[in-house]
Structure 1
Amino acid sequence: MTDTHASIVPREHLDFGLEGDIPKYWMGGDAFKTRFFDAMSTLFPPGEKFFITSVREFSDQITDPKLRQEVKDFIRQEAQHSMVHRQYNERLKRQGIDVDAITAELEQEFFVDAPKISTPTQRLAATAALEHLTSMMCTCFFERRELLEASDPRVRALYAWHAIEEVEHKAVAFDVLVKVAKAGWLRRNIPMLIITFGFPFKVASVMNRMFKADGFSFMQRMGLWARGLWWFYKPGGLFIPTLGYYFAYYKPGFHPWKQREMPSYGTWVATFEKTGDPIAAGNALHAAGT
C-alpha cells in the first residue's frame, strides 16, 4: 500500500494449474454458479482488449508522469488477465462451449459496432463504469467466505489474483476520463446506467448458451434460472450487499479510491510475496474472509 491506496503491480507467468483435473462444475457441483463465473471468463479477453484500447486512445494527451506510468501498468495487468482467461477458456472449449463464437460476437460489438455509434470519451466512460463494477464484485465477493467456500481452489485462486489487480488499478480509467477527457458527472454516469442493464443480459445470454451446450432441457434451464436468480437477488445474496458500492459511483465528487479496499488485500499480497504461489495466496485470501 502507498499512503493513499494500493500500488499497481503487474504479476506475470503465474501458474494456476488450469491443466489439472478441475471439475466441470467447480463451484461445489452447482451448474448455475459455475457457469456464471465461466461466462464472465469468456467475456474477459475481448473486454480487457476493449479497456486497453479505450484508455490508449487518450495516451498521447496524458501529461502527468504518474498517470502515464499507471496507464502502462494497467495495460500490463489487463493483458495478463486476458492471457490467463484465454488459457482457462480452453477448458470450456473442451466441454463443448463455443468460446470462439462468443469471442467473435464481442469483437464485432466492441471494435466494429461501438466505434460507429460512440465517441472515444463514451467508450472510455464505459470502461470506467465496467472497471467500477468489476472492482465492486471483487471487493464484495472476496470479503464473504461463504460465496466461494465450495469452489475448486485453483479456479478460486485465478479469480482472487484477478480481483487483487482489479482493486489495484480501479482508478486508472476513471482518472483518464476525468482528468484527460474532462468528462463531467453526466457523461460518466449515462454509460453506467446503460451498462447496468445491458451487461447482465449479456452474461445471461452466454450462460444460457452454456446450459444448452451442457444438455439441459428447457424446463431444467428454467429451474436453474429460478434458483440462480434467487441466489443473485435474495436478501444477503450475491448482489444486494453490493448496492452501496454500486450507487457510490453516481455521487458528485466520487472517486474510486474513496471506496474501501478489499478487506484482505494485504493478506493476499503478503502471502504471494512470501511464497510466489498464487494458489496459496488465493487460499489465504479466502480464509481471511468473514
Structure 2
Amino acid sequence: MNQEHRLQQRKVRFDFTDTPLHWVPNEPEASHIMNSLHLILPAGEFWFCRVYNKALPLVTDPQLREDVQGFVKQEAQHARAHDSALTPYLLRHGIDPTPFTRRVHWLFDQALCDFPLGDNAISRALQPWWLRQRVGLIAAVEHFTCVLGDWIITTRGLDNADPVMLDLLRWHGAEEVEHRSVAHDLHVHIGGSLLMRWLFMLIATPALIFLFSTAMKTMMRQDPVTRYRPGFLRLWYHLGKRDLMPRMGHVGRSVLRYFNPGYHPRSEGDIGVALNYLASSPAAQRAAAEKGPVSA
C-alpha cells in the first residue's frame, strides 16, 4: 500500500427492510447470483481474519504490518455487513440459507482450520507451511474480489437497482480495490512462492465457480419465481452481455494476468475511483458522521 494512505475500518450498517428479494428489477437470476455473496462471505472473511492474525507475528515490515491490521479490520466489517443481510433479509423473503451455509462453515472451520488433520506432532510441525498455503489461497481469492469490486463500482448496468443493496456491494467492492495489494504482499513477505500463487489460482477459480453456482441453486430452488437452469456459466455469460454481471471474458483475462511473472495487484482497478466512491457512499458517510472527527 501507499504509505500516504492508511486502511481504515468503516463501521457501516444497512437496513434491508424495504429491499426486495429481486433487488435488480426484473432480474431474479442476477439478484440471486449476487445474493450468493451473503451466503459465502461471512464465514469466508472471518476465516481470512483468523489466518491473517496467525500470520501477523511473522510480519517484520512496519508498513505491511499496518496494512495487514487494516485489512483484517475491513474484512471483519465485510463479514458483518453481509451477515446482516443473510438472516433477516433472506429469511424474510422465504429463503433458508442453511443447506448451503452449513457446508461453507465446515469448509472454513474444519477443512481449512489450523489443524484439519487433528492437533498432533505432524500437524504442529507443518504449521508454518500450512499458514503459507492458506495465505496464498487468500491472495488468489483477493484477486477475484478486486476485479469484481472494480466492476461493481464502475458498472452503470445496476444503477436502477435497490440503493441499499447496491451501496453494500459498492462499498465492499471499493474497499477490495483499496486493499488490493495486501494479500499478495503478505504472501511474498512470509516466503510464499510465485509457483504456489499460480497453483492457488488454479484451485481458487473452479472453487469459486462451484460455490457461487451452489449458493445460487440453493436460493433459486426456494424462490417460486425462479427455477434453477443448468449451466451457471452460460447464465453468467448472458447476464454479462447486458452488464448485469462482469463479462466472463474480462474476468478470464484477469485470471491470465495473474500468471504473468511480473504481476502485482497494484495494476488492478483504479484506487482513485474506489476512494471517490467510499467518500460518497451513503453508508460510509453515516459511519463517518457517527464516528465523529478524528483528533490529531
Q: CA deviation at 1:244?
A: 3.2
Asked if residue 212 in structure 1 is aligned to residue 221 in structure 2, the reply is yes
Q: CA deviation at 1:224?
A: 9.0
Q: CA deviation at 1:7?
A: 3.7
Asked if residue 8 in structure 1 is aligned to residue 7 in structure 2, the reply is yes
2:100–2:218 contact (8 Å) kept in structure 1: no
2:180–2:265 contact (8 Å) kept in structure 1: yes
Alignment partner of 1:142: what SS? Answer: helix
- Please give the residue correspondences for 1:34-45 in structure 2 after superposition, counting only pairs within 5 Å: 34-45=31-42
State the match for 2:27 in structure 1.
30
Alpha-carbon distance in structure 1 between the residues aligned to 2:54 and 2:230? 44
State the match for 1:154 in structure 2.
164
Q: Against the structure 1 CA distance between its residues 193 and 267, is the aligned structure 2 distance closer, same or farther, given a 3 Å change threshold?
A: same
Asked if residue 186 in structure 1 is aligned to residue 195 in structure 2, the reply is yes
Letter in 1 for 2:100: I
2:135 to 95, 110, 124: 124
Alpha-carbon distance in structure 1 between the residues aligned to 2:241 and 2:20? 27
State the match for 2:185 in structure 1.
175
Q: CA deviation at 1:233?
A: 5.8
Alignment partner of 2:270: what SS? Answer: coil
2:253 to 244, 250, 268: 244
Alpha-carbon distance in structure 1 between the residues aligned to 2:230 and 2:225? 10
Gaps of 5+ in 1: 279-290
Q: Against the structure 1 CA distance between its residues 21 and 270, is the aligned structure 2 distance closer, same or farther, given a 3 Å change threshold?
A: closer
Q: CA deviation at 1:158?
A: 0.5
State the match for 1:255 in structure 2.
264
State the match for 1:96 in structure 2.
94
Q: Percent identity?
A: 26
Q: Against the structure 1 CA distance between its residues 185 and 232, is the aligned structure 2 distance closer, same or farther, given a 3 Å change threshold?
A: farther
State the match for 1:17 in structure 2.
15
2:171–2:281 contact (8 Å) kept in structure 1: no
Alignment partner of 2:160: what SS? Answer: coil
Alignment partner of 2:228: what SS? Answer: helix
State the match for 2:148 in structure 1.
137
1:9–1:165 contact (8 Å) kept in structure 2: no
Alpha-carbon distance in structure 2 between the residues aligned to 1:9 and 1:215? 41
Q: CA deviation at 1:3?
A: 7.3
State the match for 2:175 in structure 1.
165
Q: CA deviation at 1:149?
A: 2.5
State the match for 2:49 in structure 1.
52
Alpha-carbon distance in structure 1 between the residues aligned to 2:165 and 2:242? 26
Alpha-carbon distance in structure 2 between the residues aligned to 1:99 and 1:221? 15
State the match for 1:69 in structure 2.
66
Q: CA deviation at 1:272?
A: 4.9
Kindly tell me the number of residue pairs found equivalent between the two proteins: 270
2:104 to 91, 103, 106: 106
Letter in 1 for 2:55: F
Length-normalised TM-score, structure 2: 0.81
Gaps of 5+ in 2: 118-128, 288-296
Letter in 2 for 1:203: F
2:75 to 68, 78, 81: 78
2:238 to 231, 234, 254: 231
